[in-house]
Structure formats: C-alpha cells, structure tokens
C-alpha cells in the first residue's frame, strides 16, 4: 500500500499564510459548492416580471415582423404562380403551332421523296436541332419553292419563339420555387415566435399573471391620457384655423391643415368621404380575431385590416406594412386625420387605422381581437409615422 502513497501536496497560501493540505481541500470543496450553487437556478436568477413582459412583447413583435414577411412572400408567390401558369399556357400553344409547322414541312418532304427531288437537303433540314442549324443549311433554302420557303420561315420562327418562352417558363418556375421556400421559412418563424411567447407565459404563476395584467392596465391608462392630450391639441389647432379662416387669413378654403379630430370634420372633402367609409368598415370588424396572414372577412392581421378597410372605400392599398407605409403622404402625428394609417416600430411591422382623438382601430396581435385603442398603446416612442393614403 505504501508504494501507492502520493507525496504530500504542499500547502497553499491564503492572504500570505501557508495553509495545510486539509484546509486546501476544504477550500476546494467550498469553491465547488459555490460553482454548483451558481449553476443551479435560484429565485435571484429568475427574470423579473418586467423582463418577462418585455420578452413576450418582443416575441410578439418578432412574430408580427415575420408575418409581414410571410404576407410579402405569399403575395409574390401568388403573382409568380399566375405568371408561370400564363407562360406554360403560352408554351403549350406555341408548341402546337411548332408541331403544325413541322407537319407542313413533313408534307413537303414526303412529296419530294415521292418525286425524288431534293430528298437529301430536306431530310437534313428536318433533322436540325436548333434554328441556327436551319440557317446554316443554305442549300435547302436555295432549292425550295416560294411556298416551301414560307413554311420553313414559319417553322424557324415558331421554334425560336417556343424555345424563348420555354426558357422564360423555366426561369419563372425557379423564382416560384424560391418564393415558396421564403413562404415556408416565414411561416415557420411566425409559429416558432408564437410558441416561445406562449411557453414563456405558461410558466407564470396566477399571481404573476395578475400582476402582469395590472402593469398592462397602467400602460393603457397612460396611453389613454396621451391620446386625450393629442385630441386636445388637435382641437385647439382646428379652432385656431377656423378662426383664421373667418378672419380671411387662413387656408384658401381647402379646410384645415389636417388636424381634424372626427370624420365629419373633413367630410366635405373627397378624402373625408373615403375615410368615413374606411372607418365604418373597420368599426364593423371590431371583435373579430387576429389571425396572422388573414385578410378577412372572418379574421385579420394588422395590414390585412387596413387594406380591407380602404378597399371598402374604393382605394387599393398594398398588402404589407412595408409597402403601405409608402402608399401615401407622410404627415406629423399632430396633424393626423381620421382614415390615416399609423405605423409602429422602427421596422414598420404594425399598422392601425386612425379614427380621431388619438385613437385607432387595429388588429393588435395573436390571441387578441380587432379593437379600438390609443395610438400610444405601446408607448409614444413606438409610433413610427402617419401616412395619408388617399
């Protein structure tokens, strides 16, 4: 047993004092226990309720961002599929014309075979694989009659156009495949973000959920206060403009600069009439569920709702928030009119329909319903821009 004994490990120093090996072992054990304690989850490691709220909010915004990418990919896929169908139909028609031209040439070849005239040249022509081969065989063109020449020209033209359309169809099919892949990726991303958000919320206790609801209520109360303040400022601005008009020093009969706070305030204009129709449509959708990628009539996502609302007013908006934000004139928030589109976040991934008095109708996020809400529902800093679409 002695032969297996190891030499004594020299003691270590703590604060300049040499310690015996036993003390060293004890210190090592304490260090290991400390590391283990740090690795194990504790109440101190658990994220705060505010952090959970922020994480869930971020996940929902990421899901909405992915939804807009999904909408864009879906729209692109739909358009590309129509283009492919059109091209394939065109290819089929041109192929039939090419076959007819080939049959016409075949009849000339058969006649020449029966008479023994020009058989080698015509046979060679019929074996040509490309239009270039045809053009290279000048001797054939020199021996055919006028009618035969016309048939050859027709065949060459049909073959060239058919090959061109086949190439276009092939390229369109490739683009369609890419669009479909983008669609699948965006769909998977949306589903993943939503699953993560739901799992995070499911880990909260009933007490934590109640506290979270209280925090949300406070946010909405502050949002309502900000909406009321915006409405007050807009009303004051409108009163000043109306007074200026009465004094003859205001706008030239075109109405206010855009600070109306109700649909009727701008109802005299073409925009006001259309805005009323858009708002009436959106109001009728209140209570319908948010479903990502949906455009109605039973459910909507944010841009699907605004698109449908303005469509009811006779105005065609693009499908996604990325395109809708460029589909009109940008105005300051202080000059927002009913019917304007209010966009949110730096990546422009949410939109609502302004209805006046600092309020909007929108489809907020999965698990919610179309509702009327302050444009400051997620804080003043979340407002990206206001766009007048018509």
List 69, 94, 274, 362, catalytic entry: 362
Separation between Cα atoms, residue 234 and residue 252, nearest integer Å = 20
Separation between Cα atoms, residue 276 and residue 59, nearest integer Å = 34
Residue 384 is a catalytic residue? no
Separation between Cα atoms, residue 101 and residue 13, nearest integer Å = 100
* DSSP H or E stretch at residue 344: strand 341-344
Please give the distance of CA 364 from its chain centroid, rounded to a whole number. Answer: 15
- Cβ contacts of residue 28 below 8 Å, gap of 6+? none
Asked if omega into 386 is within 30° of 0 (cis), the reply is no
- Is 122:108 a contact under the CB 8 Å cutoff? yes
- Cβ contacts of residue 3 below 8 Å, gap of 6+? none
Q: Which of 361, 380, 379 is nearest to 371 (CA)?
A: 361
Separation between Cα atoms, residue 71 and residue 69, nearest integer Å = 5
* DSSP H or E stretch at residue 183: helix 146-202
Residues forming beta bridges with residue 374, ordered by sequence position: 359
Question: Whats the size of the chain, residue-wise?
Answer: 390
Residues forming beta bridges with residue 343, ordered by sequence position: 351, 385
List 337, 350, 384, 388, catalytic entry: 350
Residue 350 is a catalytic residue? yes
Asked if omega into 297 is within 30° of 0 (cis), the reply is yes
Separation between Cα atoms, residue 73 and residue 83, nearest integer Å = 15
List 59, 63, 98, 302, catalytic entry: 302
Q: Which of 186, 111, 103 is nearest to 144 (CA)?
A: 111
Angle at 241 between CA 238 and CA 245, to 5 degrees: 140
The residues assigned a catalytic role are 302, 350, 362
């Amino acid at each position: 047993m002695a032969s297996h004994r190891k030499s004594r490990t020299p003691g270590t120093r703590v604060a300049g004092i040499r310690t015996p090996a036993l003390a060293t072992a004890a210190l090592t054990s304490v260090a290991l226990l400390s590391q283990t304690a740090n690795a194990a989850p504790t109440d101190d490691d658990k994220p705060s309720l505010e952090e959970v709220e922020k994480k869930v909010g971020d996940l929902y915004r990421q899901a909405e961002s992915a939804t807009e990418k999904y909408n864009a990919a879906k729209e692109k896929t739909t358009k590309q599929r129509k283009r492919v169908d059109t091209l394939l139909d065109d290819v089929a028609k041109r192929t039939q014309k090419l076959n007819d031209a080939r049959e016409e040439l075949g009849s000339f070849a058969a006649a020449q075979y029966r008479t023994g005239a020009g058989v080698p040249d015509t046979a060679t022509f019929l074996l040509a694989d490309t239009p270039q081969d045809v053009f290279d065989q000048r001797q054939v063109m020199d021996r055919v009659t006028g009618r035969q020449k016309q048939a050859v020209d027709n065949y060459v033209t049909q073959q060239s156009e058919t090959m061109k359309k086949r190439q276009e169809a092939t390229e369109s099919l490739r683009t369609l495949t890419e669009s479909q892949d983008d669609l699948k990726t965006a769909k998977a991303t949306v589903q993943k973000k939503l699953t993560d958000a739901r799992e995070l919320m499911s880990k909260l206790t009933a007490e934590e959920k109640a506290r979270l609801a209280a925090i949300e209520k406070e946010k909405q109360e502050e949002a309502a206060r900000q909406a009321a303040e915006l409405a007050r400022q807009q009303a004051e601005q409108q009163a000043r403009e109306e007074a200026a008009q009465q004094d003859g020093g205001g706008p030239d009969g075109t109405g206010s600069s855009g600070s109306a706070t109700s649909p009727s305030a701008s109802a005299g204009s073409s925009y006001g009439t259309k805005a009323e129709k858009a708002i009436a449509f959106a109001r009728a959708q209140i209570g319908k569920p948010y479903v990502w990628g949906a455009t109605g009539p039973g459910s909507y996502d944010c841009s699907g709702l605004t698109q449908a609302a303005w469509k009811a007013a006779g105005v065609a908006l693009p499908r996604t928030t990325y395109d809708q934000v460029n589909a009109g004139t940008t105005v300051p928030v202080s000059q927002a009119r009913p019917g304007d589109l209010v966009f949110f976040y730096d990546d422009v991934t949410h939109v609502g329909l302004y209805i006046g008095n600092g309020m909007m109708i929108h489809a907020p996020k999965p698990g919610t319903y179309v509702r009327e809400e302050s444009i400051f529902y997620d804080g003043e800093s979340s407002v990206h821009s206001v766009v007048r679409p018509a």
